[in-house]
Amino acid sequence: MTALIEKFKLPLVLALVGIFFILAGLVSPRLGSPGEVKLTSSAPSVDSAGQKFKIDVSGSVNKPGVYPLSEGSRVEDALGAAGGLSASADSSWVAKNLNLAEKVKDGQKIYIPSRSEQVQAAETTGKVNLNSASSKDLEDLPGIGPATSAKIIKARPIGSVEELKTKKIVSASTYEKIKDLVSVY
């Protein structure tokens, strides 16, 4: 028996080391601090057509820029192409307002605010942030009731104040009443 163990000692040790590395690889991507947004994919998904288009990713990402992505790519793919969120990114804002599974469109812009930018914007503008306001805060705006507030929340993330009108989330008259009272960042 001892001779048998000696004969297969090296292959057994190598097999155990291999198993260790495989398990470590499976467990390590799942580790992270609470509330941290994980970007698991850096490669864009490709559909059967494989058509390319460009998307602008800027703000608190590691490599801001314009990236070619394939049709069917997701926000997660765009952020992965930009090197992921930077250390200064407001990951809480991302978790609340950005749908990482949403398909991106040609020419779309994704902007990731920093933590300091979020605080500064809230303190200086005094405007209601369409992407983070509670339903009560939205209902305090002129012409916004519970139904419209729910439509705004469902439409998040909203890229610009004008989207309220262009996507018919609010009527033109309501838009005119609130356009100067709201922001998206």
Same domain, 98 and 132: no
Distance CA 14, CA 11 (A): 5
Residue 94 lies in a domain: yes
Residue 3 to residues 6, 7, 8, 68, 100, Cα–Cα distance (Å): 5, 6, 9, 60, 57
pLDDT at 19 over 70: yes
Segment 66-79, tens digit of pLDDT: 999 998 899 999 99
Share of the chain above pLDDT 90, in %: 29
User: Could you read off the pLDDT of 113-132 as tens digits, one per residue?
Assistant: 888 775 544 454 578 888 88
Average pLDDT, the chain: 78
User: Above 80 in pLDDT, residue 112?
Assistant: yes
| Number of domains the chain contains | 3
Say if residues 90 and 60 touch (Cβ distance below 8 Å): yes
Domain-located, residue 148:
yes
With 70 as the cut, is the pLDDT of residue 37 above it? no
Per-residue pLDDT at 42:
47
Q: Is residue 20 part of a domain?
A: yes
Report yes or no on 36 lying in a domain: no
Q: How far apart are CA 111 and CA 35, in angstroms?
A: 19
Q: Note whether 72 and 101 are same-domain residues.
A: yes
Report the CATH number at residue 159: 1.10.150.320
**What is the amino acid identity at position 77?**
D
Q: What is the 3-state secondary structure (H, E, C) of the chain?
A: CHHHHHHCHHHHHHHHHHHHHHHHHHHHHHCCCCCCCCCCCCCCCCCCCCCEEEEEEEECECCCEEEEEECCCEHHHHHHHCCCECCCECHHHHHHHCCCCCECCCCCEEEECEHHHHHHHHHHHCCEECCCCCHHHHHCCCCCCHHHHHHHHHCCCCCCCCHHHHCCCCCHHHHHHHCCCEECC
Judged against a pLDDT cut of 90, whether residue 91 lies above it is answered with no
Would you say residue 37 lies in a domain? no
pLDDT at position 44? 44
59 and 92 belong to one structural domain: yes
Which of 56-65, 93-102, 141-150 is predicted with the least confidence, judged by mean pLDDT?
A: 93-102
In which domain, by residue range, is 18 found?
1-30
pLDDT score at 67? 93
Evaluate whether residue 135 is within a structural domain.
yes
Q: Clarify whether residues 110 and 136 are in a common domain.
A: no
97 pLDDT tier (thresholds 50, 70, 90): confident
Q: How much is the pLDDT for 111? A: 86
Q: Decide if 44 is inside a domain.
A: no
At residue 43, the pLDDT reads 46
